Amino acid sequence: MRAQSPLLLVVFASCAAAPVERLSVEAVMGAPRREARPLVASAALLERLQAFVGRADAARAQTPRGSPMPAALAEDWRVVLEDVDALTSKNASALDLVRARLWLQTALEADGARFGDVPMDVATLAQHTLAALTLKLVTLTRKGRPLRANPAAFSWPVDPVVVTSPWGHRTHPVHGDYRFHAGVDLEADREQPVYAVAPGVVAFAGWNSGHGKQVELQHDPHLATRYSHLSGWSVQPGEVVKRGDVIGFAGKTGTATGVHLHFELRRDGESVDPETELPGPGGAFMVER
């Protein structure tokens, strides 16, 4: 991978590498316990969870922004969270657990952005379930010495690195309301290669609502990164990648005003600011456009 250039912060109005040697899953996540074939029940639970995601999307589309969460959706949440809690007690694969966590995180964040009030018990149960999924993943990777990812040793997913919209609350460039931005937007050209910032396992590669075409990498039981608005991906779920592998190409799929890369760093499911965690210059200078 090319050396990363200095990080620039740009403020403005709107929001093929050669083949490389592949690592084993054990080298990335630590040698897991030997697993029997996942039970059929796990697949059924994931199907119900995916169906719930579709119903939640429909409920958000039919409810004015800022309104309380509809009672029917809140009850739907309670039922599906019981399902996912059952998943953590079954012989599910690590990939199934990561998929379930991704879908829950995405739905919970979308509800938080749409509804003015989410029932406290739903929010609490959801966070409890996300924590249980993380603990289950840790259990599956505990045998041997699992790799502990360190964001200070990560690279950036595009080169050069120009931040066009930072992490944190902002006025949404499409919807116009003030909401939380869970990642950083990075300047990119159409079809520009997007790189894995660290060794990891592909947890998700597909379409994710407003994020468009998205790839998520799990770097250890606690740290994950997301790459959104891609024009396409070059990896598949379950594939192991090295730092610097091309995982996709920049685009503007989903809710985007133009070509760029939306990049997220997640610790135990919580969004953290990549600019405070990844290496960069001591002081970014401002460029007005």
Among positive and negative, which fits the CA dihedral 228, 231, 237, 238?
negative
Q: How confident is the model over 198-231, as pLDDT tens digits?
A: 998 887 888 777 788 999 888 887 888 999 999 9
> Residue 192 and residue 203: Cα distance in Å, rounded?
22
3-state secondary structure of 70: coil
> Residue 158 and residue 261: Cα distance in Å, rounded?
8
Higher-confidence residue of 281 and 33: namely 281
Q: How confident is the model at residue 105 (pLDDT cuts 50, 70, 90)?
A: confident
> Residue 166 and residue 183: Cα distance in Å, rounded?
7
What percent of the chain is modeled with pLDDT above 70?
74
Write down the pLDDT at residue 110: 84
> pTM here?
0.62
Write down the pLDDT at residue 227: 96
Element (H, E) at 172: none
Residues 6+ apart with CB under 8 A from 176: none
Among 102, 116, 99, 3, which Cα is nearest to 42's? 99
Q: Which fold has domain 8-29+149-288?
A: Glucose Permease (Domain IIA) (2.70.70)
> Residue 1 and residue 199: Cα distance in Å, rounded?
13
Q: How confident is the model over 160-188, as pLDDT tens digits?
A: 999 988 887 766 555 555 568 889 999 99
Q: How confident is the model at residue 47 (pLDDT cuts 50, 70, 90)?
A: confident
Cis peptide preceding 19, ω within 30 of 0: no
If you count them, how many residues does the chain have? 289
> Residue 64 and residue 279: Cα distance in Å, rounded?
41
Q: What pairs with residue 162 in β-bridges?
A: 8
> Residue 112 and residue 110: Cα distance in Å, rounded?
5
Q: How confident is the model at residue 75 (pLDDT cuts 50, 70, 90)?
A: very high
What does pLDDT average to over the chain?
77
Other Cβ atoms closer than 10 A to 3:
6
